[in-house]
Amino acid sequence: MSELLIAAPLRLEAAMIRGGLRRAARAEQPGGAPARVQQTGMGPARSRAAVAALVADPASRLLVMGFGGGLDELGEVGDAVVADAVIGPGEERVECAAADELAAALLKGGMTVRRGVVASVEHIAMGAARTRLQERGAAAVDMESVWLAAAAAQRPFAVVRVISDTPGRELTRPLATVAGFARASAGLRRAAGCLPAWASSD
């Protein structure tokens, strides 16, 4: 049985992930592995600052998890993107291990799952910036994953981003934000509830 360390950038994300894990524990999910959630902070600077504490944690797997922006209209708010790799603003690229097993666990838990590249950016991406990221082959965008990847060291590294907005429903549109928040939140909690059994697999 392996221990899972979950890096959640935002306090809200961390709270929802813990809620999903508690729900899984109450359901006595068979074979579940222990999981810990550490809030790491928003953006590249806080992500870099969090690396040392994550490296010091003895967990045998590292997962970055939270909300992300969709880069096209193929997915819906509340869907999960499981990263095959994460890329940064430059030439950084980190491959993600066990994406097949992670995606399968989320599908089994009732999630709508998409596989693809997650792009990490230094500033919130809107409009044309999202288009450029999509042209680089990315399916979703965040502000942390590629910088947190350094904390994996020799451990398997994975990323799940639950879509909170899409190009047609960006966070700058209040009505779309209110309408999508419940779906995105429910998706994040549900995805977290799927993790213990995945973390137990070799």
Instruction: Quick: pLDDT tens for 111-164.
Output: 999 999 999 999 988 878 888 999 999 999 999 999 999 999 989 999 999 999
Assign residue 68 the CATH number of its domain.
Answer: 3.40.50.1580
Q: Is residue 31 over pLDDT 70? A: no
* Sequence-distant (≥ 6) Cβ neighbours of residue 154 within 8 angstroms: none
Q: Crossing angle of helices 11-26/174-193, nearest 10°? A: 40
Structure-token pair, residue 86:
């994460």
Sign of CA dihedral 135, 178, 183, 76: negative
Q: Would you say 116 and 83 are in contact if contact means Cβ atoms under 8 Å apart?
A: yes
Element (H, E) at 96: none
32 — pLDDT class (breaks 50, 70, 90): low
Q: Is residue 174 over pLDDT 70? A: no
Q: Is residue 69 over pLDDT 50? A: yes
Average pLDDT for residues 84-104, to the nearest whole number? 94
Domain that holds residue 52: 4-200
**Which of 45-49, 61-65, 87-91, 172-176 is predicted with the least confidence, judged by mean pLDDT?**
172-176
Q: Is residue 171 over pLDDT 80? A: no
Tell me how many domains the chain contains.
Answer: 1
In the block, which residue shows the tokens 């870099």?
A: 48
CA 94 to chain centre: 14
Total-model pTM: 0.91
Share of the chain above pLDDT 90, in %: 70
Looking at the chain, list the stretches that DSSP marks H as alpha helix, in order from N- to C-terminal side: 11-26, 43-56, 99-108, 128-135, 145-148, 174-193, 195-200
Average pLDDT, the chain: 89
Q: Is residue 50 over pLDDT 80? A: yes
